Amino acid sequence: MIKIDKLQKKFGKKVVLDNIDALFLPGHVYGIVGANAAGKTTFFRCLAGLESYTGHIEATTMPIKDRLGYLVAEHYFLPKITGEEYLLLLTSARVQQVRDLHTYNIFDLPLKNYVSSYSTGMKKKLAIMGVLLQDNDYFIFDEPYNGLDLQSSMMLTTLIAALREKGKIILLSSHIFATLKESCDELFLLEKGTFARQLEKDKFATLEAELKAHTWSADLMKLINR
C-alpha cells in the first residue's frame, strides 16, 4: 500500500503539485496521465525521495526508496561501464546476489560491452532488467515504451502484468494511450497540479475520446488543411 496525503511541491513560488491525495493498492497498475509539464515526473521523484515536498507519503514498507524500482524516462549510465557491471551495481546496492546474469538476459543484450555502445532501445532494456533484478515491491515506469521495438514492447506489457499478479504496485506513465488501456486498472488525470479525475477501466474510452477531441481542435485542422 502507498497512501499519499496533501502532497505539495513548489519550485520557488510556482506550485507544481497541489494537495494530492491518492491510495495505491498491491496487485494494481495505475496510469498517471497528463499533458507535458503537468508534473508527472515531479510526482514520481517525490515518491522516490528525490525531491523535497510537504504532505505525507506512507507505505507498507518504509522508506519507499529502499523497495522501489524507478525506471526514469531518460536513463543515465556511467561512460565506462558494461551492461553486466551496471546490473551487478544495481543488485549489490540492494544486497542481492545474482550468480548468472545471462540467465536473466531476456532481451539478449551484449552485457560484456560498454553501455555507451548501446542504442537507445538497448539502454532502455538494460534499465528495465536492472529494476526487475532488484526484487522491488513498488515500481515506477516513466515512459517505459519510448525507444522499444514492437517485440520488446509486448514483452514489457507481459512483464507488467506478471508484476501485478505477484502483488506489486506499479505506477505507469505513457504518451501511448493504447499501452495504458491494456495494462492499467485505474487512471489518474493530473491537471493543474492535482489529480483532477480518477477513472476505472470502464471509463478509459471516455477519457480517450475527450483527449482526442481536445487534440484535434479546429486550429490543428487548419494547419493540416491549409
* Contact indicator for 130, 85 with CB cutoff of 8 Å: no
Tens digit of each residue's pLDDT (9 = 90 or more) over 143-182: 999 989 999 999 999 999 999 999 999 999 998 888 999 9
Strand 194-200 relative to strand 186-191: parallel, antiparallel, unpaired? antiparallel
Q: Name the residue among 138, 154, 125 with its Cα closest to residue 30.
A: 138
Per-residue pLDDT reduced to its tens digit, 12-45: 989 999 999 999 999 999 999 988 888 999 999 9
What's the domain count of the chain?
Answer: 1
Cβ neighbours of residue 4 closer than 8 Å, sequence gap 6 or more: 20, 21, 22, 23, 24, 47, 55, 56, 57, 58
Percent pLDDT > 70 in the chain is: 95
* Gyration radius (Cα) of the chain, Å: 19
Q: In the chain, where does DSSP find H-type helix?
A: 40-47, 83-93, 120-133, 150-165, 177-183, 204-215, 218-224
Residues ≥6 apart with Cβ < 8 Å to 118:
83, 109, 110, 126
The CATH code of the domain that includes 19 is 3.40.50.300
Distance CA 202, CA 208 (A): 11
Pairing label, strands 14-24, 2-11 = antiparallel
Look up the domain containing 92 and give its range: 2-224
Q: Considering the entire predicted model, what is its pTM?
A: 0.90
CB within 8 Å of 65: residues ≥ 6 apart: 48, 49
Residues 53-110 have pLDDT tens digits of 999 999 998 889 889 999 998 888 988 999 999 999 999 888 777 778 888 899 999 9
SS3 for 15?
Answer: strand
